Amino acid sequence: MQKEFLEIGKIVAPHGIKGEVKAECWCDSPLVLCEIKNMLIKDSAEKLIVERARPNSKNQAVIKFTGYNTADEAEKLRQKVILASRNDIPKDENAFFIQDIIGMTVCDNDATDKIYGKITDVFATGANDVYEITNDTGKKYLIPVIDDVVKEIDIGKNTVLIYPMKGLFDDDN
């Protein structure tokens, strides 16, 4: 079951004296964070309406929320995780949310009855993502998310089909 609200970042500090905050971006880019106009504070019913937002660095955005007009007011948001509705988060047609990938079953592309495990984490390495797969015994494997390895991601079937390159699972033979 897909979550309606996804974690998109964390407010790390006030910025300036007019109620702005610096937010660490957990999206592909701070530009994505800047396009979202309605947010929520995790574990709270408080809704945040974005008045303006701009990228601040490779991994941060500066955001001004309605009702937060001073540095002291903005300080109350420090270390708060922010959420957004999945419908409000811009993404490419063939893109996936990491939270939707975690828990998917990883199968062999040529023999789909061969199951390697479930995706338990996703790491961004710069060149490509890496899926952490954990098998039934708790052993962890890392597979690169590249076209030569990941052949199909089927959200509806909750499966990822892979072609295991030599060395990825060789110790299981």
pLDDT 10s digit of each residue in the chain, 173 long?
567 898 999 999 999 999 999 999 988 789 989 999 999 999 987 999 999 999 998 789 999 999 999 999 999 999 999 999 989 988 777 777 888 889 999 999 888 788 999 999 988 777 888 999 999 999 999 999 999 999 999 888 899 999 988 877 765 54
Note the pLDDT of residue 1.
57
Note the pLDDT of residue 17.
96
Answering whether pTM is above 0.85, one says no
Among 59, 88, 117, residue at a domain's last position: 88
Distances (CA, A) of 166 to 51, 53, 120, 169, 172: 51, 46, 22, 7, 12
Is 162 in a helix, a strand, or coil? strand
- What are residue 109's phi and psi, to 5 degrees? -60, -35
Asked if residue 93 is part of any domain, the answer here is no
Note the pLDDT of residue 173.
45
Asked if residue 151 is part of any domain, the answer here is yes
Asked if residue 161 is part of any domain, the answer here is yes
CATH of the domain at 147: 2.30.30.240
B/e letters for 19-37, b = 16+ CB within 10 Å, e = fewer, are: bbbbbbbbbeebebbbebe
Secondary structure percentages of the chain, helix, strand, coil, to 5: 10, 45, 45
Note the pLDDT of residue 42.
93
Note the pLDDT of residue 162.
93
Handedness of CA 137, 155, 93, 87 (dihedral sign): negative
Domain that holds residue 163: 98-172
Integer Cα distance of 3 and 60 in angstroms? 24
Same domain? For 37 and 110 the reply is no
Please list the residues that pair with 60 across neighbouring strands.
24
Asked if residue 145 is part of any domain, the answer here is yes
How many structural domains compose the chain? 2
Same domain? For 126 and 83 the reply is no
